[in-house]
Amino acid sequence: MEVKEFINTSLIKMNLESSKKNEVIKELINIVADNDLITDSEEVYKKALDREAKGTTGVGKGVAIPHVKSSAVKKPTVAFGRSKDGIDYGSMDEKPTYLFFLIVVPEESHDQHLKLLAQLSRKLVHDDFRESLMEAKSPEDILDILENN
């Protein structure tokens, strides 16, 4: 099981267009939908907002990890987006958010996938990991960082 199983260069957007929280979530969901990995993007969007209502996934340190568990998801997938200017995501530390990981998993997921996502979440805590994501020049760089850190 490798990182490549749920992310590839077409799921990485180096410069997000949106400037508002809900728009970012929508934009990331559209990326996943364009890759034909979800069956109902409205449903996924609704679930993502439900999750945000329970408590923001803007975990601070410039990172947000909106996530959805839904039967509308075909396979566990991560979409990555970056905003150069930062977005007000209602983050826990009330600072702008730059790095976004949208995580979508089917209702029934293998432990293997979930463990990999858990590993990714753990990495996000490390300063140098986040810094290298900020400095990456291309989707290939991002993929490389995710794989090799």
Helix (H) or strand (E) holding 133: helix 127-135
Indicate the angle between helix axes 21-34 and 41-54, nearest 10 degrees: 140
| Spatial contact of 21 and 81, defined as CB atoms under 8 Å apart | no
Residue 95 in the binding site for another protein (CB under 8 A): no
* 6, 69, 122 from 46: Cα distances, Å: 22, 11, 26
| Spatial contact of 35 and 10, defined as CB atoms under 8 Å apart | yes
Give the whole-angstrom CA distance, residue 94 versus residue 9. 30
User: Interface mask (CB under 8 A) for another protein, residues 98-117, using x and -?
Assistant: -----x-x---x-x--xx-x
Residue 44 in the binding site for another protein (CB under 8 A): no
Q: Which of 126, 131, 134, 149 binds another protein (CB under 8 A)?
A: 126
Phi, psi dihedral angles at 97 (to 5 degrees): -110, 135
Residue 93 in the binding site for another protein (CB under 8 A): yes
Residue 118 in the binding site for another protein (CB under 8 A): yes
67 is catalytic: yes
Nearest to another protein of 13, 67 (CB atom): 67
Residue 70 in the binding site for another protein (CB under 8 A): no
Give the whole-angstrom CA distance, residue 116 versus residue 138. 23
User: Interface mask (CB under 8 A) for another protein, residues 4-43, using x and -?
Assistant: ----------------------------------------
Catalytic machinery residues: 67
Interface positions with another protein (CB under 8 A): 51, 54-57, 59-60, 65, 67, 69, 92-93, 103, 105, 109, 111, 114-115, 117-119, 121-126
